Amino acid sequence: MTDQSPILLAHILNGPDRGICDEATLIHTLREETLGWVHLSGTHAAAEDWIMRHLDYLDPQAAEALLDVDTRPRMSRMGDGMIVILRGMNWNEGEDPEDMVSVRMYIDAHRIVTISRKRVRSIEKLDADIRAGRGPETAGAFLFQLIEYLVGGIGNFQRTLDQEAETLEDAVILEGSESLRRSVVDMRLQVIAALRFLIPQRDVLGDITRADTPFIDANTRREIEEEAIKMTRIVEDMEELRDQTMVLREELSGQLSDRLNKNMFVMSVASVVFLPLGFITGLFGVNVAGMPGTQNSNAFLYLCLACVGIVILQIGGLMWLRWIGRRR
């Protein structure tokens, strides 16, 4: 399509003219009983005008939902069709996967309109399937295929996080370095950001399986139910991962706290040992009416021996008090 058109993809999905089509053919197909699919760019300046001019036969609420910028996963019945808003992982270069991309869709037995503001890998896979001649030929099959690709991408993301969490857990147990704190926090934020959309998406897939829609046959409904079950498991695993990151954070904080307490204990023992020595050497160094011991050539030796004796007594006392050595 041209740069002046918001159309990114246009296909006729069944019938003798199945395949890629031009804009004029697509507009005609969307009004007929032959199943057509158009995918629009939500950021294109002409997207709203194109929908209002060429899809004016749709419910106004459907057009509004397609053009909505801030969307969360949901499903709404509209006559014989439905509005479905789903989220997929953001695999675009330079962006975070958990910043999930939105796919807004109006679908009924004869037309499918999808729109997104960013590239969606699942849409591109569907396009490749159709070009290869193995794409869906019914609206229900299209919906299932899109859901399958979206859930598959989410599952890959969840498994990657699981592997990273296992590696991070080993590092926390074996190393416990303070630098791991940032990694634990980043992973927790990833999980929380993804769950913000995954939890409502799980509910949406359940709603779709229960919806009485004429374009979803019994076999396709069972296939969508399987994807809904997968989505439920993914959400449960992500919630467990969220809890795991909290445990890792507490474990790391505990290790760092123990290390700090140990260092403080060593400093406290050192202070106990050297404080009396500092007092004695300071006392003998006071030059008031002459320094003590200056008339005796062995005075310094005696002072050193006295300090050693005091240290031995202190260490013995600390061991008796179980401050050092074998501690209960």
Comparison of pLDDT for 235 and 69, the residue scoring more: 235
Grade residue 51 by pLDDT with cuts at 50, 70 and 90: very high
Grade residue 326 by pLDDT with cuts at 50, 70 and 90: low
Instruction: Give the pLDDT of residue 328.
Output: 45
pLDDT in tens, 154-208: 999 999 999 999 998 888 877 767 778 888 889 999 999 999 999 999 999 999 9
Provide the pairing of β-strand 111-116 with 36-41.
parallel
DSSP structural state of residue 289: S
Q: What is the pTM of this model?
A: 0.80
Cα(102)–Cα(70) distance, rounded to whole angstroms? 9
Rg over CA atoms, the chain:
35
CA 250 to chain centre: 20
CA 55 to chain centre: 36
Cα(43)–Cα(115) distance, rounded to whole angstroms? 9
Token pair, residue 162, equals: 């699981």
Cα(204)–Cα(210) distance, rounded to whole angstroms? 10
Half-sphere exposure of 1 (CA within 13 A, CB side): 21
CA 117 to chain centre: 20
> Which architecture, in CATH terms, is 7-254?
2-Layer Sandwich (3.30)
DSSP structural state of residue 36: E
Beta-sheet strand order (sheet of 7-12): 19-20, 7-12, 36-41, 111-116, 101-107, 81-88, 74-78
Got the DSSP string for 85-146?
EEEE---STTS-TTSPEEEEEEE-SSEEEEEESS--HHHHHHHHHHHTT-S--SHHHHHHHH
What average pLDDT score do residues 232-241 get? 96
Share of the chain above pLDDT 90, in %: 52
Instruction: Give the pLDDT of residue 91.
Output: 94
- Burial class from Cβ neighbours inside 10 Å (0-12, 13-18, 19+) for residue 232 reads middle
